[in-house]
Amino acid sequence: MTRTIGLMSGKGGVGKTTITSNLSTILAKKEKKVTVLDCNFTTSHLLMHFGKVYHPKTLNDVLKGESSMDEATYLNYTGVRVVPASLDLSDMMGVDVKMLGSKIENIFQDQDFVFLDNAAGFGRESISGMMASNEAILVATPYLPDITDIIRGKTILEDLGVDILGVVLNKVTGKKFELPDEEILELIELPILAKIPFDYKVMESLGLKTPLTFYDKKSRVSKELHRLASTLAGDNYIPAGGGILNTLSALVKRWS
Ligand SMILES: Nc1ncnc2c1ncn2[C@@H]1O[C@H](COP(=O)(O)OP(=O)(O)O)[C@@H](O)[C@H]1O
Ligand SMILES: [Mg+2]
C-alpha cells in the first residue's frame, strides 16, 4: 500500500526539503517506488534539490486541471519521481490548494512512498498538504521556538486524523545551549525519529545539485538519514563503509 507522508514544520529553513529529497533518494536506491510532491507553492524549491530548476508542467497545472500528473512528473537520475510546483507566482492563479487531496487520491497506487514537501507554518498551503497525507513527520531544530511549533503542529495533525510518525531534529550541533532530548521528549510527547547533525556538506550538496546521500554515504548526516529511511522501509540499517566492525554487526543483524 502507498504511504503518503507529509513533512511539516512551524518555521521555514529547518530542513523539510533537504530531508524529503534525501529520504526519497535513499528509498529509491532500496528499489522502492518513490514520488515527491512540492506542495510549497509560494516558495517552491524541491526540484532544485534534485539539480533542476525547470520542468514544463507542474503541480500547479495539475491542480488547474491543465495537465496530468504524469506530464508534471520528472524522473530524476536518483530514481525519484519529482512533481515540482511552479516558480512563477502568477501560476497560483486558478490554483485551489484545498483540492490537493482529491487530485492525488488514487493516482499513486503503484508507488511505495509519496512524500509531500510542505510550506512552513500552519496556513492554508501546509494544511492542504497535511490533509492530503496519511502520515506526518514533523521537523524542528532543537530550540524552544521550534519545539513549541511542534506542539501546535501535533494538535493540528491530531485534529486532522493524520498519523504522526514522530519528530526529526535537524541541524543538531550538540552544544550545551540546545534543548536536551529529555526536555524535548517531555514537551512534545512524540518519538524522536532521528537527530541529524549540522554539517556544511548539506549545503555543499545543494551547491553540487545532488542530494547529499547520493554521493556521500559516509557522512554522519547520511548515516542518520539512512537509518531513518530503514525505519520507514522496515528493513535493517546497515551502516556504509564502516569497516570490519560494521560488516560484522550487519551480518549479526541479518542472521539473528
Ligand atoms: N543538517 C544540516 N546541516 C547544515 N545545513 C542544513 C542541514 N539541513 C538543511 N540545511 C540547509 O538549511 C537550508 C534550509 O533547508 P531546507 O531543507 O530548504 O529547509 P525547509 O524546507 O524546512 O525550508 C538549506 O540551505 C539547507 O542546505
Ligand atoms: Mg522547503
pLDDT at position 194, please?
Answer: 98
Q: Quick one: which ligand is closest to 40's CA?
A: 2
The domain of 106 spans: 3-255
pLDDT band at 215 (very low <50, low <70, confident <90, very high): confident
pLDDT at position 242, please?
Answer: 54
Burial of 62 (0-12, 13-18, 19+ CB in 10 A): buried
pLDDT at position 217, please?
Answer: 86
pLDDT band at 211 (very low <50, low <70, confident <90, very high): very high
Mean pLDDT of 159-167: 98
Q: Looking at 74-208, which runs of residues are DSSP E strands? A: 74-75, 81-83, 113-118, 135-140, 163-172, 192-197
The CA 11 to ligand 2 mean position distance, Å, reads 10
pLDDT at position 51, please?
Answer: 96
Q: Give the pocket of ligand 1 (CB within 6 Å).
A: 9, 12-18, 45, 120, 170-171, 196, 198-199, 202-203, 206, 221
Could you give the percent of the chain with pLDDT greater than 70?
Answer: 93
Residue 226 grid cell: 539512512
Q: Which of 202, 222, 223, 224 to mutate to test the pocket of ligand 1 (most atoms within 8 A of CB)?
A: 202
Could you give the percent of the chain with pLDDT greater than 90?
Answer: 88
Cβ atoms 60, 92 nearer than 8 A: yes
Closest CA to 214 of 27, 37, 34, 82: 27
Question: Average per-residue pLDDT in the chain?
Answer: 93
pLDDT at position 74, please?
Answer: 97
CA-nearest residue, atom 27 of ligand 1: 203
Q: How crowded is the C-beta side of 227, counted as CA atoms within 13 Å? A: 15
Atom of ligand 1 nearest to the CA of 203: 27
Strands 34-39 and 81-83: parallel
pLDDT at position 237, please?
Answer: 82
pLDDT band at 183 (very low <50, low <70, confident <90, very high): very high
Q: Residues 109-135: pLDDT tens digits?
A: 999 999 999 999 999 999 999 999 999
Atom of ligand 1 nearest to the CA of 19: 17
- Sheet containing 3-8: which strands, arranged edge to edge? 74-75, 81-83, 34-39, 113-118, 3-8, 135-140, 163-172, 192-197
CATH number at residue 23: 3.40.50.300
DSSP state of 86: P
DSSP state of 10: S
Q: Residues 14-73: pLDDT tens digits?
A: 999 999 999 999 999 999 999 999 999 999 999 999 999 999 999 999 999 999 999 999
pTM of the model: 0.93
Report the number of distinct structural domains present in the chain.
1
Q: Is 222 left (phi over 0), alpha (psi -120 to 50) or beta?
A: alpha
Mean pLDDT of 177-190: 98
CA 250, CA 256: separation in Å to the nearest integer? 10
106 compared with 222, residue with greater pLDDT: 222
Cα–chain center distance at 23: 6
Q: Residues 217-254: pLDDT tens digits?
A: 899 999 999 999 999 999 988 776 555 555 565 556 55
Q: Which of 8, 14, 16, 18 to mutate to test the pocket of ligand 1 (most atoms within 8 A of CB)?
A: 18
pLDDT at position 248, please?
Answer: 61
One-letter amino acid of 19: I
The CA 14 to ligand 1 mean position distance, Å, reads 6
The CA 68 to ligand 2 mean position distance, Å, reads 24
pLDDT at position 251, please?
Answer: 58
